[in-house]
C-alpha cells in the first residue's frame, strides 16, 4: 500500500493515495453483481471511508463545534458523505456533552457528461437557480470556487469546505478544502454516491471504473 498523511501538526490535510497504487482486488470485497466487469478495483474500502470521516468530524468539532452549523450538502455525489459526516459530528458532540445545533440545506451541481467536465456549471440551491458560464472542472477547484462565490451571496458568518476526495491534476487547485478526506490520483472513480451517468451510486466502496463500464453506460 502507498498511503500517507500530509499536513502540519495534528490536523492532517488528507490521506494521500500515491500514483501507481492499483487499488484492492475486487474479489476481496462484496459488491453488486451487476457491476462485474464494470469496475477495475476498489480504491478506498467503505470501512476506511467511514474511519476517515470520523477523523474529519473530530477536527470540525474541535475548530467550530461551539457554533451553530449550517451544513450545505452538494448533491448528488455528496449526499452519503454529508449524511455520514453530520451523523459522526452529532455522535461525537453527544459523547463530549457539547451543545451543537445543526441544520442541513441542499444544493445541486452538475458539470459532468460521461467522464468529462462540460462547459457549463449548473447550481441549483435553496431560493435560487442560476447557471454559471465557463469551464467548470471539479478536479481543478474551479467548481469549488464558483460554489463559494455563490454561497457568499447569502453573507454567512464563516465558510469552511469539507471534501472527501481531492484529485491530483495538472494545474490543480492551489488551496485545498479546509477538511480533506483523501488525495487521490487523477482517475475517474465511482461509488459511495459518486456516479457515472447516474450509475454506480449504490456501490459502498469507492472504485475505479473500467473502460468496459464507461462504454456500457455512456450516453
**Domain coordinates of the chain in residue numbers?**
46-186
Instruction: Point out the catalytic residue in the list 25, 38, 128, 139.
Output: 139
With bands split at pLDDT 50, 70 and 90, how would you rate the model's confidence at 170? confident
Query: Does position 73 have pLDDT exceeding 80, yes or no?
Result: yes
- Mean pLDDT over 41-46 rounds to 97
Neighbours of 190 (CB within 10 A): 25
Catalytic residue flag (residue 59): no
DSSP label of 213: H
Which range has the worst mean pLDDT, 13-17, 92-96, 147-151?
A: 147-151
pTM (two decimals):
0.82
Q: What is the CA radius of gyration of the chain?
A: 17
CA angle 143, 149, 150 (to 5 degrees): 90
Which range has the top average pLDDT, 93-102, 161-170, 199-208?
Answer: 199-208
DSSP label of 34: G
- Mean pLDDT over 69-85 rounds to 87
46-186 belongs to which CATH class?
Answer: alpha beta
What are the residues facing 179 on neighbouring strands? 162
Amino acid at each position: 500500500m502507498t498511503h500517507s498523511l500530509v499536513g502540519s501538526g495534528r490536523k492532517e490535510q488528507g490521506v494521500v493515495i500515491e500514483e501507481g497504487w492499483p487499488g484492492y482486488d475486487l474479489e476481496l470485497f462484496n459488491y453488486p453483481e451487476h457491476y462485474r466487469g464494470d469496475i477495475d478495483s476498489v480504491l478506498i474500502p467503505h470501512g476506511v471511508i467511514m474511519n476517515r470521516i470520523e477523523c474529519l468530524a473530530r477536527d470540525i468539532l474541535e475548530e467550530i463545534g461551539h457554533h451553530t452549523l449550517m451544513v450545505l450538502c452538494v448533491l448528488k455525489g455528496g449526499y452519503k458523505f454529508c449524511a455520514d459526516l453530520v451523523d459522526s459530528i452529532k455522535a461525537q458532540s453527544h459523547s463530549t456533552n457539547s451543545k451543537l445545533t445543526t441544520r442541513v440545506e441542499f444544493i445541486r451541481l452538475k458539470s459532468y457528461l460521461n467522464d468529462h467536465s462540460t462547459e457549463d456549471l449548473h447550481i441549483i440551491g435553496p431560493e435560487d437557480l442560476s447557471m454559471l458560464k465557463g469551464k467548470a472542472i471539479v478536479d481543478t477547484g474551479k467548481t469549488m470556487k464558483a460554489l463559494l462565490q455563490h454561497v457568499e451571496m447569502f453573507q454567512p458568518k464563516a465558510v469552511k469546505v469539507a471534501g472527501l476526495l481531492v484529485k491530483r491534476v495538472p494545474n490543480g487547485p492551489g488551496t485545498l478544502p479546509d477538511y480533506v478526506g483523501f488525495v487521490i490520483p487523477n482517475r475517474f472513480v465511482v461509488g459511495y454516491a459518486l456516479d457515472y451517468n447516474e450509475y454506480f451510486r449504490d456501490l459502498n466502496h469507492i472504485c475505479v471504473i473500467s473502460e468496459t463500464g464507461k462504454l456500457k453506460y455512456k450516453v
